[in-house]
Chain A
Amino acid sequence: MAAQVANLPSLIIGRVLTKSNTTTAIVRVLQMQLDDKFDMFFNQRIDYKAFDKREKTKVGDIVLLKKRPTLDCRYPLERYEISEIVYELGRIKDPLTGRPCNGLRYLDESFVAKEREDQLKRSVPTTLNALPNK
């Protein structure tokens, strides 16, 4: 395990790398580290082992880790538990609107209809406000 930044912060977001068994997941977390010579921030990848109560996470989910109370840890490396799945693999939900989305488009509206709309908008440019006398 590489050097840990800031003494184990209590909340962390990371991506599930592997699941050794259904309850343990290795989560890769990105933290920005200042490079001395360049004074630029680069992402540093740290892998944490996390405990997964609900066993629902898949490899590739983006997951929120919460610090585990020290009494429940089964071994000293296991400091975090998975508390919530932020973005599930394949079923990302936009938290502002609540609609399922896939990268650059929403999955609610059909792709074909949107393409038609865009085509119509492009071929009839702004004639809506151009004729006040009619």
Chain B
Amino acid sequence: MPAPMFMRGAAPWRNTLAYLESGKIIFRPIVRIFTLNYTLDKPDSDGLRRFIFWHLAQIQYKNPNVQCVQFKNTTPTPFVSFYLSRSSSDDTESEANSDNDYDIVHMDCYKKTSNEIHDSIRRVMGKSELQQRIDLELTARLENPANFGKDCAHYCMCLVYGQMSCPGRKVLPEHLRGKFTRYKIDELDEMRKKISDEEALKEYWKRPF
């Protein structure tokens, strides 16, 4: 049996989620298309070819809404271009969004190393570290399903399947209420003689409200 089934090919650690997640270039929301023009044989575009080999998957993983297109052997010099547009891609956009013009930014890559290309793309079109941290904090509350409240996945924990309902709407069984466990302990004992705790819970779940 061939051992590591999927770790095959050149530099197979490029194809791991850990590597893809550790991409550093996140484009600003203006960038829509990322075009790469390079030649396959010439030594001038060696840097760009290495950049594509190592970093393009990371970029596409971190920016799923940007179309990354490669043009091979179209022009003699290698370059990279960005198509910027302000209009967002919602279907419910009204026609008053007249900012439908786009800008093109070209970046020359003739005889540049892949590190230089990576750094300059990050500086020009990438979100700064500060902005990335802000975005992370804003989405962290939303992503963690344990959080509830404003800006989170669900407003109240009662909405999650398997959790207790809101005690304001549906009265809890007596053994779970402070009124009985702290003050009216005798009445609790009386009720426990009639119905056990588990059965009270089952009846609680059966009740609609």
**A binding-site residues for B, Cβ under 8 Å:** 5-13, 29-32, 34, 37-41, 62, 64, 66-67, 69-71, 83, 87, 92, 94-97, 101, 103-106
Question: Are B57 and A41 interface neighbours, CB within 8 A?
Answer: yes
B108 within 8 Å of A by Cβ? yes
Instruction: Assess A67 versus B83: contact at CB under 8 Å? Given A92-B75, A103-B73.
Output: no
Question: Are A104 and B73 interface neighbours, CB within 8 A?
Answer: yes
Report the bound CA distance from A67 to B86 in whole Å.
12
Distance (Å) between the CB of B183 and the closest chain A CB?
A: 57
Question: Are A6 and B76 interface neighbours, CB within 8 A?
Answer: no
Instruction: Assess A66 versus B73: contact at CB under 8 Å? Given A6-B65, A10-B88.
Output: no
Instruction: Assess A31 versus B74: contact at CB under 8 Å? Given A13-B83, A104-B42.
Output: no
Instruction: Using A30-B67, A70-B91 as known contacts, list a sample of 16 further A-B pairs with CB atoms less than 8 Å apart, ordered by residue number in A.
Output: A5-B64, A7-B89, A8-B89, A9-B65, A10-B32, A10-B89, A40-B15, A66-B102, A69-B95, A95-B104, A97-B77, A101-B74, A103-B74, A103-B76, A104-B73, A104-B76
Question: Looking at the complex, which one of A9, A31, A37, A97 makes contact with B89 (CB distance below 8 Å)?
Answer: A9
Question: Are A12 and B67 interface neighbours, CB within 8 A?
Answer: yes
Distance (Å) between the CB of B58 and the closest chain A CB?
A: 10
B130 within 8 Å of A by Cβ? no
Instruction: Assess A95 versus B106: contact at CB under 8 Å? Given A6-B65, A29-B67.
Output: yes
Question: Are A38 and B102 interface neighbours, CB within 8 A?
Answer: no
Q: Which residue of A lies closest to B83 (CB)?
A: A11
B17 within 8 Å of A by Cβ? yes
Q: Which residue of B lies closest to A84 (CB)?
A: B102
Instruction: Assess A96 versus B77: contact at CB under 8 Å? Given A11-B85, A41-B60, A66-B102.
Output: yes
Question: Looking at the complex, which one of B16, B67, B75, B88 makes contact with A101 (CB distance below 8 Å)?
Answer: B75
- Complex interface: chain B residues within 8 A of A104 (CB): 39, 41-42, 73, 76
**B binding-site residues for A, Cβ under 8 Å:** 6, 15-17, 20, 32-33, 35, 39, 41-42, 56-57, 60-61, 64-65, 67-69, 71, 73-77, 79, 81, 83, 85, 87-91, 95, 100, 102, 104, 106, 108
Question: Looking at A10, A67, A103, A106, which has the most chain B CB atoms within 10 Å of its CB?
Answer: A10
Report the bound CA distance from A92 to B74 in whole Å.
8
Report the bound CA distance from A67 to B94 in whole Å.
12
Report the bound CA distance from A71 to B97 in whole Å.
13
Instruction: Assess A106 versus B76: contact at CB under 8 Å? Given A11-B83, A38-B6, A69-B95.
Output: yes
Question: Are B76 and A38 interface neighbours, CB within 8 A?
Answer: no
Distance (Å) between the CB of A38 and the closest chain B CB?
A: 6
CB-CB nearest 5 A-B residue pairs: A11-B32, A94-B75, A69-B95, A39-B15, A10-B89
What would 10 A/B residue contacts be, using CB atoms closer than 8 Å?
Answer: A7-B91, A8-B89, A10-B88, A12-B33, A32-B60, A38-B15, A40-B15, A71-B95, A95-B104, A96-B75
Distance (Å) between the CB of B144 and the closest chain A CB?
A: 23
